[in-house]
Amino acid sequence: MNKTVLDLWVGLFVIAGIAALLFLALKVGSMSAVNTSDSYEVVARFENIGGLKPRAPVKSAGVVVGRVADIRFDNETYEAAVTLRLDKRYAFPKDTIAAIMTSGLLGEQYIGLEAGGDSAKLKDKDRILITQDAVVLENLIGHFLYGKAQEGAPQ
Amino acid sequence: MLKRSIENLGNRTIQGVWRIGFAARFFLTMLLHSGTAFRRFGLTVREMYFTGVLSLIIILVSGLFVGMVLGLQGYETLQTYGSEEALGVLVALSLVRELGPVVAALLFASRAGSAITAEIGLMKATEQLSAMEMMAVDPIARVVAPRFWAGVISMPLLAALFSAMGIFGGYLVGVQLIGVDEGSFWSQMQSAVDFEQDILNGVIKSVVFGVAITTIALFEGYDAPPTAEGVSGATTRTVVTSSLAVLALDFVLTAFMFRGIN
């Protein structure tokens, strides 16, 4: 076979392969929705995080504004310390509420941020003070049954 | 009788150890003589045509059909839970993490690995390799190393093409044929697939498979008895051994890569 034809085919093959890799990186996986360089971290403490996992989205008003960077157990307060990595473009007031929510009935868990009214903004390494734990289905059913039993009990 | 069987066992063990040692020395020599493969890159490009470009058709067509079948089967299962939109995640993750590298490697082993073994085995049987040595041309540097690097470079490209084609097939069946919502198909896929954890690990896997398959194919060809029967046996062994090696390596790599992920 002619050498130039052969080179041409191999060149096309390599270009197609790299194009496929780029397609996978950019279209299939979001290469970097939140970049490490232009982001800041805040810590939120929860008594129960349910099934929250690292890399879960952090949403505000339904828009993804960051990701969960790290989840740790604090052995002094017996709470979960969740580090949130937020996009620098979005600033939140100091009294923002962090709540663990579930998308859909059986969907993945994420952290919802509800902005407060404070004029001071959250900075890097700040702490979100007001948090709302994950809803644990077993506890909910327990409360419900307990309430029902109370209702039916003779006074 | 007992003595004979113990002797047999010992003989087989010695043979096996000798073969492993020969394979390791062969691998090292190949790496040491790789300079030619890069200095005269034309040799490697030529081999990339035979291992990579000629494998394209089977890789692309298989990828497309694997993706389309994943789309159909995944839809059937996801439909029961009312989460058809997760079809994109299912197709993309299964292709990028496992099916892309593994199935592409199995096809590569049977399409290109067998050809490499047969070619080198026949070169040895017709004493072309000895003729090269007579002319002071090192057959490892001239024949073996370019084929090795061609396979190692081609394998990740083929696996990426397989995955991309499979995702396109899943898109065709899921979105165009069945009617899953296009926006959530892509956006759920993008939020679930991570570049480092999923795509990069898939590429690493395919590079490892490329090294394993081409090494086995080259070694079997180089080690084949110089007879018609010997070459045919070596070709068969290449496909069987490299397929098994791919599956075993895949398990080991997956255990290391995805152990920490929930």
Domain boundaries, given as residue ranges, for chain B: 33-257
Q: Taking 60 as the threshold, does the pLDDT of residue A31 lie above it?
A: no
Instruction: Please check whether residue A141 touches B, CB under 8 A.
Output: no
Proportion of chain A above pLDDT 70, given as a percent:
90
Residue A150 belongs to some domain of the structure: no
Q: B191 and A3 in contact by Cβ < 8 A?
A: no
Instruction: Please check whether residue A9 touches B, CB under 8 A.
Output: yes
Q: A13 and B189 in contact by Cβ < 8 A?
A: no
Q: Taking 70 as the threshold, does the pLDDT of residue B75 lie above it?
A: yes
Q: A20 and B49 in contact by Cβ < 8 A?
A: no
Instruction: Please check whether residue A7 touches B, CB under 8 A.
Output: yes
Tell me the mean pLDDT in the region A90-97.
89
Instruction: Please check whether residue B161 touches A, CB under 8 A.
Output: yes
**Residues in a beta bridge with A121:** A93
Residues A53 and A94 in one domain: yes
Name which of A16, A17, A29 is nearest B193 (Cβ-Cβ): A29
B172-193 pLDDT tens trace: 999 999 888 888 888 888 878 8
Please state, in angstroms and rounded to a whole number, the distance separating the CA atoms of residues A101 and A155.
38
Where in the sequence is the domain holding A122, given as residue range(s)?
40-141
End-to-end CA distance of chain A: 98
Residues A23 and A81 in one domain: no
Tell me the mean pLDDT in the region A79-106.
86
Please state, in angstroms and rounded to a whole number, the distance separating the CA atoms of residues B125 and B78.
55
Confidence class for position B34, pLDDT limits 50, 70, 90: confident
* Tokens 């991309």 belong to residue: B164
Q: Residue-wise over B119-146: b if at least 16 C-beta within 10 A, else e?
A: bbbbbbbeeebeebeeeeeebbbbbbbb
B260 DSSP 8-state letter: S
- Which strands sit side by side in the sheet containing A79-87, from one edge to the other? A126-128, A39-46, A79-87, A63-74, A57-60, A109-114, A97-102, A130-132
Q: B161 and A20 in contact by Cβ < 8 A?
A: yes
Please state, in angstroms and rounded to a whole number, the distance separating the CA atoms of residues B182 and B177.
11
Residue A131 belongs to some domain of the structure: yes
Count of structural domains within chain A: 2
Amino acid symbol at B241: T
Q: Taking 90 as the threshold, does the pLDDT of residue B61 lie above it?
A: yes
Please say whether the dihedral angle defined by the alpha carbons of residues B130, B136, B137 and B140, taken in this order, is positive or negative.
positive
Complex ipTM tops 0.95: no
Residues A27 and A44 in one domain: no
Pairing mode, strands A57-60 and A109-114: parallel
Residue A48 belongs to some domain of the structure: yes
Instruction: Please check whether residue B57 touches A, CB under 8 A.
Output: no
Residues A130 and A64 in one domain: yes
**What does the pLDDT read at residue A155?**
58
Residues 52-111 of A with CB under 8 A from B: 53, 55, 57, 64, 104, 106
Q: Crossing angle of helices B201-223/B145-171, nearest 10°?
A: 140
Task: Tell me the backbone φ, ψ of residue A115, rounded to 5 degrees.
Answer: -65, 140
Name which of B45, B157, B186 is nearest A17 (Cβ-Cβ): B157
Confidence class for position A121, pLDDT limits 50, 70, 90: confident
Residue A147 belongs to some domain of the structure: no
Q: Taking 70 as the threshold, does the pLDDT of residue A61 lie above it?
A: yes
Q: B49 and A6 in contact by Cβ < 8 A?
A: yes
Residues A44 and A119 in one domain: yes
Pairing mode, strands A97-102 and A130-132: parallel
Instruction: Please check whether residue B164 touches A, CB under 8 A.
Output: yes
Please state, in angstroms and rounded to a whole number, the distance separating the CA atoms of residues B216 and B250.
16
Confidence class for position B262, pLDDT limits 50, 70, 90: very low
Q: B160 and A24 in contact by Cβ < 8 A?
A: yes
Interface test with A, best of B48, B83, B91 (most A CBs within 10 A): B48
Please state, in angstroms and rounded to a whole number, the distance separating the CA atoms of residues A104 and B38.
55
Q: Give the helix ranges, DSSP H, for A24-60.
A: none
For the entire predicted model, the pTM comes to 0.76
| Distance from the B19 Cα atom to the nearest Cα atom in chain A, whole angstroms | 35
Residues A67 and A135 in one domain: yes
**Residues in a beta bridge with A127:** A43
Instruction: Please check whether residue B99 touches A, CB under 8 A.
Output: no
A6-16 pLDDT tens trace: 888 899 999 99
Q: For chain B, give the mean pLDDT.
A: 90
Residue A149 belongs to some domain of the structure: no
Confidence class for position A1, pLDDT limits 50, 70, 90: low
B84 DSSP 8-state letter: G
Residues A24 and A45 in one domain: no
Task: Tell me the backbone φ, ψ of residue A51, rounded to 5 degrees.
Answer: -105, 25
* Tokens 């370019």 belong to residue: B146
Residue A148 belongs to some domain of the structure: no
Instruction: Please check whether residue A22 touches B, CB under 8 A.
Output: no
Q: Crossing angle of helices B41-51/B145-171, nearest 10°?
A: 40
Residues A61 and A132 in one domain: yes
Instruction: Residue B141: name the closest of B33, B11, B10 by CA.
Output: B33
Radius of gyration of chain B (CA): 22
